[in-house]
Amino acid sequence: MHNKTITELAQGLRAKEFSSVELTQHFLNRVNKHADLNAFITVTADLALQAAQLADVRIAKGEAGLLTGIPMAHKDIFCTQDVKTTCGSKMLDNFIAPYNATVVDKLNAVGVVNLGKLNMDEFAMGSSNETSFYGTVKNPWNKNAVAGGSSGGSAAAVAAKLAVCVTGTDTGGSIRQPAAFCGVSGIKPTYGRVSRFGMIAYASSLDQGGSMARSAEDCAILLQSMAGFDAKDSTSVDTPVPDYCVDLNKPLTGLKIGLPKEFFTSDLNADMAATLQTAIEEYKKLGAEFKEVSMPNLKYAIPAYYVIASAECSSNLSRYDGVRFGYRCENPADLNDLYTRSRGEAFGKEVKRRILMGTYALSSGYYDAYYLKAQQVRRLISEDFKNVLSEVDVIFSPVTPTPAFNIGEKTANPIEMYLADIYTIAINLAGLPAISIPAGFINEMPVGLQLIGNYFDEARLLNVAHVYQNTTDWHKQSPT
């Protein structure tokens, strides 16, 4: 059952080939069997089986949708009522969310079965899922390799078939990079397309929730129920959500695809370049036309991103002070000691590093030189994308410089770790949608290709990804 798509499982449930309870128990057994991957922080077996029973009732009444009774899981950054929500941090190890994130409510409404909460880099800060308080997530293709981050638990769970589909969040590549490392599909929608209410904030102007699954089609089905305006989120955009599945098979004849010359230089790994060239040739066979484009300000994306993201994280994480909720140090001598020791004992090294960077960038005398300048560069990067997307329909690029690296390989060098997101962070600065899909293997490890679209044009991206997956089988490959 774990090899079936959402559509195939929905058909099986309706035909009574198996029940949602049986399906859910099957996946719970797989979660237990592959616990060594460390993909889950919390497994909610009892709640999942209760939800499956309710789903079976809906199916029997003929009230089921495609996702009714389908076992999935949430990245542990989405608040889930009466269930521990940790954000991968010791700071929230004792936090039981008193409400659901809007995304969780929307998916509950269509009858999904939530198997539990997925591991992640602490407060979504990381590119390898090595900063989690709960330990490193292992890549199902090679347990000595990282799963990517920050949504590493999400990607690993899909790759190992521990869940049919999952939620993730993307601040600078945190859906797309782990999707590429683990050989699955993952889409980051336009900023404002998916509600951020109840999604614990890292960098508020960059964070965006999205869907991850084995195929673009399954990503489309999950995103359909996640997307939409939410009055509780001031960054949510009130624009209609199209049917993401209706044009999935639309032919690509005449599609114009841009190739940014800044991404396809001699610095790109030769094996990665060859893999991507094979994908380009496949798209040409499907009728797509390629055009070299230039975005000269992309070279400033990494410094601009880490100034902005760190500044916003410094502000957002100031709420964790040991007073209202979360970790509290023992026997504080005074208020200052409470603040200092609670934060010092509960935050990990990477979180502390980014808080310090962000506080410095926002401090008096440095705000204009760093934060304001980074926002000005952000505007230039957005204009580059705007200009290029007026000439082409989508942009094609790598997702990562290399396949997944080994656990511990980059932890001593934060700058090298930050460069793992070199091809993804500019998209978040611009607020554009982008998808990562499997494109091949290098040294028996999966790699992905990235497609970037115009604002609120997720349907086009899903179509371009799906048609490619109709003629290739990279997304059907499974780790042993």
Q: At what angle do helices 458-471 and 270-285 cross, to 10 degrees?
A: 90
DSSP state of 292: E
DSSP 421: G
In the block, residue with structure tokens 């980051």: 188
Nearest CA to 477 out of 449, 437, 435, 450 is that of 437
Nearest CA to 3 among 20, 22, 26? 26
Helix, strand, coil tally for the chain in percent (to 5): 40, 15, 40
Catalytic residue among 20, 89, 127, 150: 150
* Tokens encoding 420: 């793992």
Residue 106 known to be catalytic: no
**Residue 54 CB-density burial (10 A; 0-12 exposed, 13-18 middle, 19+ buried):** middle
User: How would you classify the pairing of strands 434-442 and 185-188?
Assistant: antiparallel
Contact 457, 189 (CB under 8 A): no
Q: Based on the residue annotation, tell me whether 138 is a catalytic residue of this protein.
A: no
Q: How many CB atoms lie within 10 A of CB 335?
A: 11
Whose CA is closest to 450, among 191, 175, 148, 213? 175
Sign of torsion, CA 372 374 375 380?
positive
Partners of 419 in the beta sheet? none
d(CA 340, CA 329): 9
Amino acid at 252: L
Q: Are 169 and 151 in contact (CB under 8 A)?
A: yes
Angle, in degrees to the nearest 10, between helices 20-33 and 6-14: 140
Tell me the residue ranges of DSSP E strands in 221-351.
256-260, 289-293
Q: Give whole-number Cα distances, 353 to 52, 56, 144, 364, in Å.
A: 42, 48, 26, 19
* Exposure on the CB side of residue 148, measured as CA atoms within 13 A: 39
Q: Cβ of 221: how many Cβ atoms within 10 Å?
A: 26
Q: Which of 75, 90, 106, 138 is catalytic?
A: 75
* Strand 113-118 versus strand 185-188 pairing type: unpaired
Is the distance from CB of 125 to CB of 169 less than 8 angstroms? Answer: no
Sign of the alpha-carbon torsion through 415, 379, 205, 119: negative
Find the catalytic residue in 132, 151, 154, 174.
174
Q: Which amino acid is at 217?
A: E
Active site residue 342: no
Rounded Cα distance between 126 and 145, Å, is: 15
Q: Which residues are catalytic?
A: 75, 150, 174
